[in-house]
Amino acid sequence: MAELRRLPPELHERARAVASGGVDVAEPRHAATVVLLRDAVAGGIEAYLLRRVGSMAFAGGMYVFPGGSVDPRDGDAEIAWAGPPAAAWAAPLSASESLARGLVAAAVRETFEESGVLLASPVPDDRELLRREQAALLDRSASMAEVLARNGLVLRADLLRPWAHWVTPEIEPKRFDTRFFVAALPEGQEPVHFRGESDASEWVAPRDAVERHARGDLGMLPPTVFTLAEIGAYSSVAEVLAAATDRDVKRVLPRIVVDGDDVLLLLPGDPGYPA
């Protein structure tokens, strides 16, 4: 598997510098991302993917799940909350109670910002109102707590399940410590693509996405491919959520190996990746 993940030549110099201690390693920022899922009409499941604008400094042109960095206001204790409390999320997310609260709230906020899907209740029928609140979050003129409070909404932590925990490799100048969640598309809601940080979106069967990536038709970062490959083993959203409930989430840091002229990226399951 490592043979399939040689790093491009433009990253070799930085990889060697990091390996030798010649450059400072960036501290990763906490982030959350949500694998939004639905049962396909023809059977199986589909995941919602966004293509990041090519000019973005991180993962430009890549297909990703909705997500982003934790905002300091995501940890606001005033956020109306339903479902498992923040303390119950601490262990599955390998986080303090306050960070766990911020991660769950960031997952809900980023999903709403980037897809228009709101993991809260009761969701208003007024699409124009939702669009205004989405814009308020995007321009940071309002916090998640404020948006929920003024619309009488409650964040639905019970709609999320922890799935994975990935940290950006040390060679990247911009790094994230990201918790991956899975969630079913709430009944009555559909994603509405907002052209901000992304320029395209689609629902895709996980296995099809992995195959398209292997052909070079769908650019994705390794954690996205890895996650889709795992989820592709299930035949329904209910099965994914059930598996996530008992899942032992391990922190994964892809390993960069300098081997002569080669620089390889190793993931769990590859020979040489630490147990």
User: 115 in helix, strand or coil?
Assistant: helix
Scanning the structure block, which residue is given the tokens 């689609």?
A: 202
Question: CA-based Rg of the chain, rounded to a whole angstrom?
Answer: 19
Is the alpha carbon torsion for 241, 245, 246, 249 positive or negative? positive
Range in 11-25, 196-210, 211-225 the model is least confident about: 11-25
Give the number of residues written for the chain: 275
User: 31 in helix, strand or coil?
Assistant: strand
Q: What is the mean pLDDT of residues 212-224?
A: 91
pLDDT at residue 275 greater than cutoff 70: no
Distance from chain centroid for Cα 211: 20
pLDDT at 200: 81
pLDDT at 4: 47
Give the chain's domains with CATH numbers: 26-248 (3.90.79.10)
Q: Work out the pLDDT band at 195, boundaries 50, 70, 90.
A: low
Q: Work out the pLDDT band at 226, boundaries 50, 70, 90.
A: very high
Q: What is the mean pLDDT of residues 90-106?
A: 97
Between strands 251-252 and 198-204, the pairing is unpaired
More confident residue, 33 or 275: 33
Give the helix/strand (H/E) hosting 48: strand 45-52
Rounded (5°) CA angle 16-226-18: 10
Cite the DSSP H helix spans in 25-96. 86-90
Taking only the tens place, the pLDDT of each residue in 238-257 is 999 999 998 999 999 888 88
Cite the DSSP H helix spans in the chain. 12-19, 86-90, 97-115, 127-138, 144-150, 206-214, 222-231, 237-245
pLDDT at 264: 80
Please give the single-letter amino acid code of residue 225: V
Taking only the tens place, the pLDDT of each residue in 107-160 is 999 999 999 999 999 999 999 999 999 999 999 999 999 999 999 999 999 999
Distance from chain centroid for Cα 122: 24
pLDDT at 60: 63
pLDDT at 199: 79
* Spatial CB neighbours of 245, under 8 Å, sequence gap ≥ 6: 161
**CA dihedral defined by 113, 160, 89, 250, rounded to 10 degrees?**
-100
Taking only the tens place, the pLDDT of each residue in 47-66 is 999 998 755 555 567 899 99
CA distance 9 to 245: 41
Taking only the tens place, the pLDDT of each residue in 2-46 is 344 777 777 778 778 887 777 788 899 999 999 999 999 989 999
